[in-house]
Every structure is written in C-alpha cells, then in structure tokens.
C-alpha cells in the first residue's frame, strides 16, 4: 500500500525549514515572475529559490516550483531566459503549471523538466487527465470541486498519471482561478498572482434613496436581484456586516484513507501566505494522520484539536463527499477568526549559561501566563516566571510585533520551537 506524500506550502525559507522539520515530504514555492501569490512570496530571487532546492535535496525531500500564472503576451518574452537562469542554479523536482502556452514552451525548450498541472487548470474529468498526459504532464493537481468518487474514476481511467489533491486550507468561492472579483474591486488580478481575497471582505447592504436594495420581510433581510422579482436571497447580517462570499476552509484530514484508496498519491495543503505556526501545526497533524493510516490505524479524532489550533473560517470537507451547499459558507465571521490558540512567538536561541530562551514575539507574552512550546514531536506546557527584554532587563510584558526578549527556562528544547497561548474564551 502506498504512503502518499505530504506536500506543504513554503512561502519563504523559514516556513520551508519548519515544514520539513514538522514532517513534510515535499514543499512547493513560487518564483516571483510566474507564480500566483506573487505579492506574499518570500522568494525574491533565483539564489533564494536555489538555496531552498538545495536545502530540500540535502534532506532527501522534494521541492516543486509553481509557475502557474496565465501570462499576457508581454510576459512571455522573458519566460525562457527566466527558467534557464534558474535551472543553471538548481533542479526542482517538478514545475506546477497552468497555462497551455507556457507548458508548450517548457516542453520545447526544457524537455527534461517534470510538469505537474496546477489546480488553476480546473481538471474535473478523466478526459482532461488524458489530455494533459498526452501533453507531457506527469501529475495532475485535481480540481477542488470534485468528489472522491470522481477522483477514483480518473485514476481508473488513467492509472499511470499521478493525482494530487488539496486536503487542507482556504478555498475560492469560484472554481479556482475563475474569479474576477479581485480584479473588479481592487484592480488586482487573481490570475497574475495578485488576488486581494475580495470574496472574504465585509459587505453591507444599503438602502438607496427611493430604491430599496433590500426588503425586510418578517424581521429577516433578503437580497433581491433586479431581474428575479419573485426570488429572495436570505441575508444574515450582524453588527460586523455580512460575509456574502466567504467560503469555509477545507479540511480532509479524516478522509485521507478514502483519498489514498481512490488513487491520490500526494496530499496538498494550501497556504503560502500563512504563518510559520500554521505551517508547523498543520504539517504535524497531517504527518501523524498519514503515518497512522499507513500503519493501518483508524483516524485519531484528537488530531482535529491541532487543526483547530490554527486560525480558520470553520471547516468543511469541500466537494469530496458531494456539494456542501449552504454549509460551505461562513456568512457572519471575519477573515480567519476561529482558533483555539494564539501564536505568540518563535524561539530563536537558548542561552545555556543564563538558562533563558530567546523569543521573537508575534503576540504579547506576559509574566505569570501559561503557554505551550510546540516542537516537531511534542508540546511542552510552561508558565512564564521571568521575562527580560533583549538587553536583559526584567520586564512584565513583551509586546508583539517581532520584538525579541528572553524567558527563563531550564533546558535547551532544541531547534524549531514555536510558542503559543491557549485562548481560554473558546
Ligand atoms: S477573490 Fe476569492 S474566489 Fe476570487 S480568486 Fe481571490 S480568493 Fe479566489
């Protein structure tokens, strides 16, 4: 029985290092000019990408590079030079691509390169899988908008093509990449890597003078589209507004066995722009779930607690078990509001002489409060007894925003340690 790969987003070098330390088999990252998520991309030049590729290969892990924009003509001219410059420095294990033209250029000018078809290409049937196979693809990242049964049918029809499936993270309210809300509202093109996540913004319904934009009916508000007079759309709105298009996040950690049996060889997590804490906790939970599955153990529901410790919009299992319908939306919650823990800092070093941990604070850390240190294999509960600023003077609170300080602590916990605080109000 195969053990599918765990594929984690690497928004920058640090996130990549944590992803591998917490159990990733492979990571994916973007190149600045031809990748989506271009604004939040921590890899700014070829040297940084090459450094990441060498780091992964030294660990015996894999690294895939995304070049999944849909470029306009003016961007095409630089493509060959750009790819050649990167290949002179390193050899990624595969390229994640969407645009048929770029894929053709890659095959013509760099024939040895491995191509994975991005989720942006919306592959939702086995004929499309065959099409991309005939056009040089080794692997397909299947569309998020299909069921496990449909994935199984793809695998049965094209068993020699690798199938990769997203199992976790944010989802679009449209077919991935087929949305122009961000272009319209902020002139930022989602298909050029500049999406402003406009579907998650807060919208309000206002009444224009002399023309009702909404109609109250038995205490409930309804939205009406001008061409459909008899059809009312129920609208929930509280004092914070209404999140009309805010999709819940995908979480399929409990479905990994079914996905593997359907033929999925790579489980992919979304979130190149999310925090190192999200990367570490999500990786660790999925690593344990995959290892349990490979050992023939049932899914451990306690792993959901780890998943819920990262910020989220509420979870659904996407379309994997059918259309989620209205349950797929979170109408009354701002972006990423839920979490059972607050990410408070990243441990940078241990001073063995003074027995202190150096922490770079992401949120406030206070004397007397309880925290957890999150390591790749375990969590350690601590109470902060003494706190010092970076120069070593005692303080009562270290404010967030990447300020560094010292916490007294008896032993060196080792590398890759993050700090978090339980949110007691939940
Ligand atoms: S605005 Fe939302 S649905 Fe549209 S591309 Fe961006 S994230 Fe996806």
The model's pLDDT over 339-385, given as tens digits with 9 standing for 90+, comes to 899 999 999 999 999 999 999 999 999 999 999 999 999 999 999 99
Q: What is the pLDDT of residue 296?
A: 94
Report CA-CA distances (Å) from 323 to 257, 292, 317, 318: 20, 28, 10, 7
Do 48 and 166 lie in one domain? The reply is: yes
Q: Strand, coil or helix: what is 78?
A: coil
Do 59 and 106 lie in one domain? The reply is: yes
Q: What is the pLDDT of residue 197?
A: 85
- Pocket test of ligand 1: the residue of 172, 185, 313, 328 to mutate, having most ligand atoms within 8 Å of its CB, is 172
Q: Is residue 348 in a domain? A: yes
How far is it, in rounded angstroms, from Cα 111 to Cα 191?
26
Do 252 and 212 lie in one domain? The reply is: no
Do 349 and 319 lie in one domain? The reply is: no
Enumerate the β-bridge partners of residue 65.
29, 95
Q: Is residue 113 in a domain? A: yes
Q: Is residue 84 in a domain? A: yes
Question: Nearest 5 degrees, angle CA 341-CA 342-CA 347?
Answer: 110
Q: How many CA atoms lie within 13 A of 117 on its CB side?
A: 25
Do 99 and 211 lie in one domain? The reply is: no
Domain final residue, candidates 298, 328, 358 = 328
Q: What is the pLDDT of residue 179?
A: 81
Which residue from 154, 128, 116 is spatially nearest to 266, judged by alpha carbons? 116
Report CA-CA distances (Å) from 141 to 10, 70, 149, 274: 17, 16, 16, 21
Ligand 1 centroid distance, CA of 48 (Å): 28
Q: What is the pLDDT of residue 369?
A: 96
Q: Are the C-beta atoms of residues 198 and 186 closer than 8 Å to each other?
A: yes
Q: What is the pLDDT of residue 188?
A: 85
**Nearest atom (ligand 1) to Cα of 176:** 8
Range of the domain at 225: 207-237
Q: Is residue 197 in a domain? A: no
- Pocket test of ligand 1: the residue of 122, 143, 145, 174 to mutate, having most ligand atoms within 8 Å of its CB, is 174
Q: Is the CB of 169 under 6 A from ligand 1?
A: no
Q: Which helix (H) or strand (E) holds 20?
A: helix 13-21
CATH number for 114:
3.20.20.70
Report CA-CA distances (Å) from 138 to 19, 56, 147, 162: 24, 21, 21, 6
- Pocket test of ligand 1: the residue of 197, 243, 313 to mutate, having most ligand atoms within 8 Å of its CB, is 197
Q: What is the pLDDT of residue 426?
A: 43
How far is it, in rounded angstroms, from Cα 288 to Cα 23?
9
Number of domains present in the structure of the chain: 3
Atom 8, ligand 1: residue with shortest CA distance: 172
Do 225 and 83 lie in one domain? The reply is: no
Do 19 and 79 lie in one domain? The reply is: yes
The residue ranges of the chain whose pLDDT is under 50 are: 208-211, 426
Q: Is the CB of 181 under 6 A from ligand 1?
A: yes
Domain final residue, candidates 216, 237, 258 = 237
Q: Is residue 266 in a domain? A: yes
Q: Is residue 260 in a domain? A: yes
Q: Residue 164: which residues within 8 A CB-CB, separation 6 or more? A: 7, 116, 139, 140, 141, 142, 264, 265, 266, 267, 268
Q: Is the CB of 182 under 6 A from ligand 1?
A: yes
Q: Does the predicted model carry a pTM greater than 0.75?
A: yes
How far is it, in rounded angstroms, from Cα 261 to Cα 284?
22
Do 302 and 414 lie in one domain? The reply is: no
Q: Are the C-beta atoms of residues 151 and 252 closer than 8 Å to each other?
A: no
Do 390 and 322 lie in one domain? The reply is: no
Q: How many CA atoms lie within 13 A of 241 on its CB side?
A: 13
Ligand 1 centroid distance, CA of 326 (Å): 18
Q: What share of the chain is helix, strand, coil (3-state, %, to 5)?
A: 30, 25, 45
How far is it, in rounded angstroms, from Cα 151 to Cα 81?
36
Do 378 and 317 lie in one domain? The reply is: no
Q: Is residue 191 in a domain? A: no
Q: Is residue 385 in a domain? A: yes
**Nearest atom (ligand 1) to Cα of 179:** 4
* Residue 258: CB atoms within 10 Å: 16
Q: Strand, coil or helix: what is 82?
A: helix
Atom 6, ligand 1: residue with shortest CA distance: 197
């Amino acid at each position: 029985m195969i053990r599918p790969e765990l594929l984690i987003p690497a928004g920058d070098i640090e996130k990549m290092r944590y992803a591998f330390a917490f159990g990733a088999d492979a990571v994916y990252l973007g190149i600045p000019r031809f990748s989506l998520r271009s604004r939040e991309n921590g890899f700014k030049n070829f040297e940084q990408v090459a450094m990441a590729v060498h780091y992964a290969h030294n660990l015996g892990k894999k690294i895939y590079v995304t070049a999944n924009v849909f470029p306009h003509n003016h961007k095409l001219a630089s493509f060959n030079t750009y790819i050649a410059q990167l290949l002179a420095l390193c050899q990624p294990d595969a390229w994640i691509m969407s645009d048929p033209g770029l894929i053709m250029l890659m095959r013509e000018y760099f024939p040895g390169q491995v191509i994975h078809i991005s989720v942006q290409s919306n592959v939702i049937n086995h004929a499309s899988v065959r099409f991309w196979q005939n056009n040089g693809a080794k692997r397909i990242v299947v569309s998020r908008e299909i069921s496990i049964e449909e994935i199984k049918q793809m695998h049965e029809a094209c068993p020699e093509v690798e199938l990769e499936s997203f199992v976790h993270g944010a989802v679009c309210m449209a077919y991935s990449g087929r949305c122009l809300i961000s272009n319209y509202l902020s002139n930022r093109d989602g298909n050029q890597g500049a999406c402003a996540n406009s579907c998650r913004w807060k919208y309000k319904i206002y009444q224009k003078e002399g023309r009702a934009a909404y109609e109250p009916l038995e205490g409930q508000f309804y939205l009406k589209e001008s061409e459909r007079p008899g059809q009312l759309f129920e609208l929930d709105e509280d004092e914070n507004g209404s999140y009309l298009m805010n999709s819940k996040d995908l979480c399929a950690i409990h479905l990994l066995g079914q996905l593997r049996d359907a033929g999925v060889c790579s489980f992919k997590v979304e979130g190149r722009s999310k925090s190192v804490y999200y990367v570490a906790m999500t990786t660790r939970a999925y690593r344990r779930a995959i290892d349990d599955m490979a050992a023939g153990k049932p899914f451990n529901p306690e792993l959901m607690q780890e998943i819920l410790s990262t910020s989220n919009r509420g979870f659904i299992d996407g379309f994997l078990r059918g259309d989620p319908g209205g349950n797929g939306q979170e109408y009354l919650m701002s972006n990423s509001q839920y979490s059972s823990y607050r990410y408070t800092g990243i441990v940078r070093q241990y001073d063995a002489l003074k027995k202190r941990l150096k922490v770079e604070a992401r949120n406030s850390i206070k004397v007397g409060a309880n925290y957890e240190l999150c390591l790749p294999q375990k969590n350690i509960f601590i109470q902060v007894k003494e706190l010092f600023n970076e120069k070593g003077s005692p303080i009562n609170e270290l404010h967030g925003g990447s300020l560094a300080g010292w916490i007294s602590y008896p032993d060196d916990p080792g590398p890759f340690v993050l700090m978090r605080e339980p949110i007691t109000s939940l």
